[in-house]
Structure 1
Amino acid sequence: MFQLSRQTVGRQRSLYAGSFVALAVGVFMLGLAATTTAATIAYHLPASSTIGVTTLGGPDTPPQHVRIALANADVSGLQTVLSMVGAICGFITVFVIASTFAFAVASRRRELGLLRLIGATPRQLRRMIIGEALVVAFAASVTGAIGAQLATPLLLRRASYTELAPVQLEPASPWVPLAIAVGAGMLVALLGARSAARRAGKVAPIDALREASLEPPRIGPVRIGFGLLFLAGAIVMLSLIRPSSGDGAVPLAMFTPMVIVIALTLLAPLVVPVVGRVWAAPLVAWTHVSGRLARSNVVAAPRRSASLAAPILAISAIAGSMVLSLSFAADSSAAAIRDAVRAPVVVTGSAPVTDAGVKAADAALPTELVRIAAEYAQLEGVEGIDPAVAAQTRDLGVLDGDLRRLTGLTVAVSKEMAGFEHYRVGDEIPVVFLDRTPARLRVVAIVKDAFGVNPSFMIPLDVARKHSPDAQVERTFVLPADGVAPGELVRRIPNAELASDWEAAQSDGLRKGNQFGLVMLLGPAALYSAIAIANTLLMSGLQRRNEFVTSRLLGATDRQLQRMVLWESSLVGAVALTLGGATTLTVGILIRRAMTSGLTDVPLTIPWNILLAIAALCLTLAVGAALAPAAYLLRSVGQSVPSTMRNSRSTPSERAASAS
């Protein structure tokens, strides 16, 4: 049976070319993430860039000695980004491969019926399809792995000495990460082909006699059950995106669309015809025949339409949700900074503020320390403050305890951190300062969250200076003396600006950082999705030769058929973008509600240019990838139409000229 699978793939190269390219690119992305992660793991930190600490241990975990990288040698940011890129690419790969194999089986329904007619059993057909998947997967995985190995040095050169990896990274041994990528590619192919193989086993011998490629009108109860199960899980995840979720709201907003995409893809044969009819109503009224044919093709073949819509739905829902989530996160951060800063003037730089018109200058000292927990140790950013001055220049919002007791080895903790670690006033937090001095900081206050203004941990200013003598002040919040206008201080003090201008600059910087993160996370996934959309639609177009021949014999012109393909691909894209847009809108509303709780006058920034660009790119790819094979097939069909049929459509004068 495997020999038959190999021969089938060789004979059906055009049918499996899309699956090969999609899987090869997917394994390339996974392999690149794996080899780069291996380089970060293999990087040996110099002793001067680490601090050795011993965890506290717990009932089930003994104390362990670990080394924590300092900020100037920490590559965990790159590891986090790579893991998210791998997860997104792997997720999209599963759906792309599943849709391409499902389409391949649907287009070979008559061939599979012939095999059943000559005695092949459903089990043999399933094994044949799985064998074809293994043949394609092995070739594509090896190709993608080789490409990833060749591209790894270039990516490491680009990533070195950046914010994500402030060190020089060198390639590590590629065998383990590439083996993982190849294995993941094989597994993804098997997962994607499994449902297609089951569908192939259900093909009846009578399908060998069918000329029309009609699909069963119903989908199985198992698929419906899993679709409803994932939909219920998505609803539960959506219900968890609320103000009490804290920092967990953003990961939920990023991963919930994946669960929604799974549910919608499983239920797509039921959902696509309904949404397709809605979009087709104005199209039919405007175009009449071509629009009606496009609607009939989309509605009559919901499985094929669902396979074509799957990659568009996946990238539009995931990308749109991430774009909105990060934009709303920047909005809430800007509002939090504005609400937390009371001082009207901000001075950047380390120079001390000594102007006579200054009533209070909050020159906080940023530094770091290693916080030790029961099972881990973590580098934390802290700030040394003078609580009496800081309380005048910013809203510290003491929720419990007393900031006046912030003296000696004490610490004030933000509400969010206290909630995560269950800190209470009076608790002691084991830490190690940058000068390798261990200490236990007693919690004397819990303050409100103010991202960008108040860090998660604040210690006395003299303690910060003692243990971090090289630390430099980065910004000073300045409160003018009575009768002194803020604008006058801005003119007199170097590097001073109004707090409103500083807040706007912080917001712009955060948005630029978010855009960089979007490029890192969605750039590879978007490129891969674009290839997948084009591949899937090209496969669909190249299998419609018989349909075009029949339509030409019935009198349809090339222009009419091209318009039909145009409207059909537009309908499929519109359906997918509608479902993706609904997902994006739902997640966006919930994440904004969660992030803006407790804030006033939060700006609403919707990046329409990015969202519309995603939609336009998906539609352009869908239409272009559908029209290109249609034009090619129509040229070849025009040569195969009998001359008598061409003469029957010619004018009398043309027939007379031809006869002479």
Structure 2
Amino acid sequence: MLFLSRQTVRRHLSLYAGSFVALAVGVFLLGLAATATAATIAYRGPAADSIVVKLPNADPPTTARVLLSGEDASGLQVVLSMVGVISGFITIFVIASTFAFAVASRRREVGLLRLIGATPRQVKRMVLGEALFVAIVASVAGAVLAQLTTPLVLAKASYTELAPVKLEPASPWVPLAIAVGAGLVVAMLGARSAARRAGRVGAVDALREASLEPPQIGPVRITFGVLVLAGAIVLLALIRPGTGEAVMPLAMFTPMLLVVALTLLAPIVVPLIGRLWALPLVTWTRVSGRLARSNVIAAPRRSASLAAPMLGISAIAGSMVLTLSFAADASVATIRDTLRVPIVVTAPENSPQLSERILGTPGVAVADGAIPVGLIRTDRDTADLEEAEGIDPAVATQTRAITALKGDLGKLTGKTVAISKEAAGFGNYRVGDKISVTFTDRSSDQLEVVAVLKDAAEINPSFFVPAELARQHAPGAGPTRWFIQPAEGVDPTALTRALDERLAGTGADAVPAAEWQQAEGEGLRKGNQLGLILLLGPAALYSAIAIANTLLMGSLQRRHEFVTSRLLGATPAQIRRMVLWESSLVSAVALSLGTVITITVGLLIRHAMSVGLTDVPVTVPWGTLLSIGAVCVVLAIGAALLPTAVILRDSQPSAALQP
């Protein structure tokens, strides 16, 4: 059967070329993420800029090496992990659809094999052998391409915001083996269900319904679709206020589950929505629109396979774009609601002592200059470098809205710490608990939690310590920003100019708080754009290839249908219009479902992030969202019309009589 599988692949090169391209690109993306992640894991940093801390609560007790500068590749590592997850999901999604489409397109051939005596088991083995043959070649090709591209990617990623270090390629064997193995597993899983359906085809039924699809999907597929949809609804229910950093993973995984559920149920859902979209189309176009509607409804599996890539990328990309935009809106509102002063002074690191100059400026009533200090939490089985600030609670509470949800911030003296609600949730800390820490001066201590504070990450860090404790462990550190409260009756604009004159030559800059807030918001959006490019760029490219690939495969298998239509009197122009409306109809269905997912997830994310904030702005990146939809439609129409034009140019009505 393996020999027959190999011969079948060679005979259907145009059909399996799409599967090869889809799997090769998927393995390439997975391999690239894996090799780049291996490089970030292998990076150790300079020994002089690190500290080895003890982890007494680990089992067994051990030590951990932590970079003190914080300049490591952890940010890139997180992004690459998310890229791997998204790319892996898209790969599984596309490959399963592609192999199922390839096998379904050969239903007549499978029926003829059954007619001449092939057993269901032999048919299954043949289909799985075809998948294995394509998977081996495609996975190796994708892995080789990933290895060749890795040095270039690492060179571009080095010395960036996500990886401010020099990254070198690590040993590629393990990550590439994982990528190749994933490609093989995905291909076999994608072909398994199709092979099982092919094995159930009866000889007589295959001859009678060779060119028709089954009228309904099986109960197993419906059951799994409903179960996955229920799981997605549970994730939607979890997107609520207080979710914290878990909001971002939920914004990524919830659309994935919804896409899987709708794909499983697509043979039911696509025709229903297709009928609605076809109402104005039929009224406007009449014959060509009716034919397009009939094709979409009569071939639900094919329509679902064509809609799947567009549904996947529109839902996932749209949800991420909207989530990051709403996150930036919430951050801007948090800054505005937390900051109580009209003036902000920013200063470079290791700047001259500014305290006397600022406090000595006439008109300054309060100057809140927090002392940055690094500390390593070692009270669990991991060592995490945290950014903390040393403050005077009496001063800081006049310039910032620092709200104690539990405990008393006024007790922040001596060896104590106040932590954010999010940090308390992750570490399971309560007021009165002791946190084991190691400061960057290599001294260790235990700090008592005296307060749990409301989250305000853009203004307040996760950890506050007394100013005296910060000076003790970071004697050379100085504030990098000051929040200035003018005295009563003093004009903030005039005081800003006076501070600028007073701080001339120090590198510090005094700006109105509104201007500083705007700059912070723009910085957040710029960082979000970089994250979107890294997260969705590879997946969007792969999805574009998958959309074009699937539609090309579908169109190339319709040669007999097109020439038969010619025999019945249809002109090439009419057939092209039919294909145009059919691809447009499938695109409309897919983008409609993707839009519903995007809006649902986006609104829940916005509600979860904006509760407790006032006048949260609404920034919808219409340009990006519309571009996603426009690219999907253009690719769908172009990939459908191009092969149709080629088939019609080389075919005459008499070709319909050929086998």
Q: TM-score range by the shorter chain?
A: over 0.9
2:422 maps to 1:381: no
1:384: how far off?
Answer: 1.4
2:558 maps to 1:544: yes
In the TM superposition, what are the counterparts of 1:110-125 in structure 2 within 5 Å? 110-125=108-123
- Given that residues 567 and 654 in structure 2 are in contact (C-alpha distance below 8 angstroms), is that contact kept between their aligned partners in structure 1? no
Which residue identity does 1:46 align to in structure 2? P
Aligned pair partner of 1:566 in 573, 580, 586: 580
Aligned pair partner of 1:594 in 608, 611, 614: 608
Question: What corresponds to 1:455 in structure 2?
Answer: 461
Residue 436 and residue 505 in structure 1: after superposition, are their counterparts in 2 closer, same or farther (change >3 A)? same
Which residue identity does 2:443 align to in structure 1? T
Distance 1:439 1:209 in 2: 80
Which residue identity does 1:452 align to in structure 2? E
1:209: how far off?
Answer: 3.3
Greater shift, 495-504 or 267-276, is seen at 495-504
- Given that residues 111 and 210 in structure 2 are in contact (C-alpha distance below 8 angstroms), is that contact kept between their aligned partners in structure 1? no
Residue 642 and residue 370 in structure 1: after superposition, are their counterparts in 2 closer, same or farther (change >3 A)? closer
3-state DSSP of counterpart to 2:242: helix
2:432 maps to 1:426: yes
Question: What corresponds to 1:271 in structure 2?
Answer: 269
- Given that residues 29 and 538 in structure 2 are in contact (C-alpha distance below 8 angstroms), is that contact kept between their aligned partners in structure 1? yes
Distance 1:212 1:635 in 2: 26
1:212: how far off?
Answer: 6.4
Question: What corresponds to 1:650 in structure 2?
Answer: none
2:49 maps to 1:35: no
1:401: how far off?
Answer: 2.5
Q: Tell me the alpha carbon deviations over residues 192-244 of structure 1, each in whole angstroms, 9 at most, x when there is no partner.
A: 11111112112221255348621010111000110011011111111111113
Which residue identity does 1:489 align to in structure 2? L
Aligned pair partner of 2:644 in 616, 624, 630: 630
In the TM superposition, what are the counterparts of 1:84-483 in structure 2 within 5 Å? 84-210=82-208, 213-349=211-347, 350=351, 351-352=354-355, 353=358, 354-483=360-489
List alignment gaps of at least 5 residues for structure 2. 501-508
Q: Tell me the alpha carbon deviations over residues 554-598 of structure 1, each in whole angstroms, 9 at most, x when there is no partner.
A: 111111000000000011111111111111111111111111111
3-state DSSP of counterpart to 2:464: strand
Distance 1:508 1:617 in 2: 27
Greater shift, 408-417 or 541-550, is seen at 408-417
2:570 maps to 1:556: yes
Distance 2:125 2:57 in 1: 51
1:472: how far off?
Answer: 3.7
Question: What corresponds to 2:505 in structure 1?
Answer: none
Distance 1:590 1:208 in 2: 48
1:642: how far off?
Answer: 9.3
3-state DSSP of counterpart to 2:616: coil
Distance 2:248 2:563 in 1: 52
Which residue identity does 2:192 align to in structure 1? R
1:639: how far off?
Answer: 8.2
Distance 2:412 2:131 in 1: 65
- Given that residues 107 and 210 in structure 2 are in contact (C-alpha distance below 8 angstroms), is that contact kept between their aligned partners in structure 1? no
Which residue identity does 1:253 align to in structure 2? A
Which residue identity does 1:115 align to in structure 2? L
3-state DSSP of counterpart to 1:244: coil
Distance 1:110 1:490 in 2: 80
Greater shift, 331-340 or 488-497, is seen at 488-497
2:622 maps to 1:608: yes
1:250: how far off?
Answer: 2.1
Aligned pair partner of 2:547 in 533, 537, 545: 533
Percent identity, please: 67
Question: What corresponds to 1:652 in structure 2?
Answer: none
Question: What corresponds to 1:503 in structure 2?
Answer: 517
Distance 2:621 2:471 in 1: 43
Question: What corresponds to 1:578 in structure 2?
Answer: 592
1:72: how far off?
Answer: 3.9
Question: What corresponds to 2:504 in structure 1?
Answer: none
- Given that residues 126 and 201 in structure 1 are in contact (C-alpha distance below 8 angstroms), is that contact kept between their aligned partners in structure 2? yes
1:389: how far off?
Answer: 1.0
3-state DSSP of counterpart to 1:379: strand
* TM-score, with length taken from structure 2: 0.95
- Given that residues 552 and 641 in structure 1 are in contact (C-alpha distance below 8 angstroms), is that contact kept between their aligned partners in structure 2? no
1:641: how far off?
Answer: 5.4
Question: What corresponds to 1:81 in structure 2?
Answer: 79
Aligned residues: 641
- Given that residues 70 and 379 in structure 1 are in contact (C-alpha distance below 8 angstroms), is that contact kept between their aligned partners in structure 2? yes
3-state DSSP of counterpart to 1:116: helix
- Given that residues 551 and 640 in structure 2 are in contact (C-alpha distance below 8 angstroms), is that contact kept between their aligned partners in structure 1? yes
1:57: how far off?
Answer: 1.6
Q: Tell me the alpha carbon deviations over residues 19-60 of structure 1, each in whole angstroms, 9 at most, x when there is no partner.
A: 1001001100011111111112222332222221122426xx
- Given that residues 156 and 169 in structure 1 are in contact (C-alpha distance below 8 angstroms), is that contact kept between their aligned partners in structure 2? yes
Distance 2:129 2:99 in 1: 12
1:518: how far off?
Answer: 0.4
Distance 1:470 1:620 in 2: 59
Question: What corresponds to 1:519 in structure 2?
Answer: 533
- Given that residues 54 and 65 in structure 1 are in contact (C-alpha distance below 8 angstroms), is that contact kept between their aligned partners in structure 2? yes
Question: What corresponds to 2:52 in structure 1?
Answer: 52
Q: Tell me the alpha carbon deviations over residues 286-337 of structure 1, each in whole angstroms, 9 at most, x when there is no partner.
A: 0000000000000000000001111111111111111111111111111111
3-state DSSP of counterpart to 1:450: coil
* TM-score, with length taken from structure 1: 0.95
Distance 1:392 1:57 in 2: 39
